Structure 1
Amino acid sequence: MGLQERIAHVQERIAAVCERSSRSVDEVQVVAVTKYVSLEKTARVLDAGLVHLGENRWQNAREKWEALHDRGVWHFIGHLQTNKVKDVIGKFQYIHSLDRLSLAKELEKKAAELDIRVNVFVQINISGEESKYGLAPEDAPALLQAVQQMPHLNVVGLMTMAPEVDDPEQTRPVFRGLRELRDRLNELKLTEQPMQHLSMGMSGDFEIAVEEGATFVRLGSILVGKEED
């Protein structure tokens, strides 16, 4: 399939999930993960009508951002080292991988220097896999309480990554767990405004994620394809 066909196919699948889940398709934003494709292919993604772009390393995103930054909404979706904050701050409207206090402090420091407010997702390791980044669920309240004192950070929601499994249905407890954690944290009123968003679901499991409440799904291979596509 070509790019337009893949986009239409994904949109049809999301629409079907939303219909059976009594959700509006407007509640689900697709982040096109362009980390493995070129500037030219990324431009084609924008030309095709997609708005949200996901990158996980500044060195791979730089050429694309410098050429196209005014055309899309940029999401930093990878693990963010504290010493790399200076490279991404002010360029990405959303950072999906806030997972420790030291990173929050550096984001706050650099955002204050630029006099901007940054939208962040707190990354949670719901599955408990040692290979995954993210806070343990029980550590989330303490981080949120600390971030509440950082006026240049705006916590919009939670993010997680599910295990890679053959049967997507096996990811459901992870996605449901993130939604339930968000709801519990909102009841504690640890953020300035209730957290609305859930960044969860990738090419192999996004339908389950949408059923469980995802508001941003991060789609690479199923949507963008490979460079030669």
Structure 2
Amino acid sequence: MLLTQSIPLVEERISNACARAGRDRNEVQIIAVTKYVSLETTGLVLQHGLQHIGENRWQDAQAKWEAFGDQGTWHFIGHLQTNKVKDVVGKFAYIHSLDRLSLAKEIDKKAAALGITAQCFIQLNVSGEESKYGLPPEEFAGFIDAIRSREHIRVVGLMTMAPYEAEPEATRPVFRGLRELRDELNRNKVLGYEVPHLSMGMSNDFEVAIEEGATWIRLGSVLVGKE
């Protein structure tokens, strides 16, 4: 499907989901996941006004970032190896996959060297699937306590991936669980600042995620296709 066709269809679905949830459409941002598409298609995505680009691996993203890095806002949404932190911090405005203390230390160190603050989402494995990365929810409080002194990391949100379900409604408890963890974090004021965002929902289940409070949805096949 061409972007000229997919973008209006996705927009309509987002608007309808927001209406069902009584939310303002402007509360939800799209990350166009370009990991499966070419350099050329990534350029077209940006030309069509989708300014937030999501990539999973630096090896795959490098050529795209070098070509278009100043034309959009880049989100690192995949599992981040500590030895790749040097390539990602400073290039990607957001890291959606902070899930362990060793990674936090490397991000903080690199951000400090660059004189910047890394904007991070903590990834949580709400569903408990062994195949998924992310902190178990029961380790969340301890992790927050361990990283809150990291001066060059700002926790801007929480992220999760729901299991693929034939019926998207089945993902609702996962998204609701992430929202409840975010709300509890804010109530307890552990970090001393508000954590506003929820990065959740992909092509198969983004409408349910929006109904449960997603502020960033990560859309690949339904929006930009595959090549």
Which TM-score bucket, shorter chain as reference? over 0.9
Structure-2 residue corresponding to 1:8? 8
* Alignment RMSD (CA, Å): 0.8
Structure-2 residue corresponding to 1:161? 161
Structure-1 residue corresponding to 2:128? 128
The 2-side partners of 1:172 and 1:82 are apart by: 32
The alignment of Structure 1 onto Structure 2 pairs a total of residues equal to: 227
List runs of 5+ in structure 2 lacking aligned partners. Answer: none
State whether residues 124 and 135 of structure 1, in contact with CA within 8 Å, keep that contact through their aligned partners in structure 2: yes
The 1-side partners of 2:190 and 2:51 are apart by: 30
Deviations 1:17-55 (A, max 9, x none): 111111011000000000011111000000001010000
Structure-1 residue corresponding to 2:141? 141
The 2-side partners of 1:166 and 1:20 are apart by: 21
List runs of 5+ in structure 1 lacking aligned partners. Answer: none
Structure-1 residue corresponding to 2:67? 67
Q: Which amino acid is the alignment partner of residue 57 of structure 2?
A: R
Structure-2 residue corresponding to 1:213? 213
1:86 aligns with 2:86: yes
1:21 aligns with 2:21: yes
- Counterparts of 1:43-58 in structure 2, within 5 Å, are 43-58=43-58
Moved more, 189-198 or 170-179: 189-198
Deviation beyond 6 Å, 4+ runs, structure 1: none
| TM-score between both structures, scaled by the size of structure 1 | 0.97
TM-superposed CA distance for 1:226, in Å, is 2.2
The 2-side partners of 1:56 and 1:20 are apart by: 31
| TM-score between both structures, scaled by the size of structure 2 | 0.98
The 2-side partners of 1:131 and 1:26 are apart by: 33
The 2-side partners of 1:197 and 1:216 are apart by: 7
Q: Percent identity?
A: 64
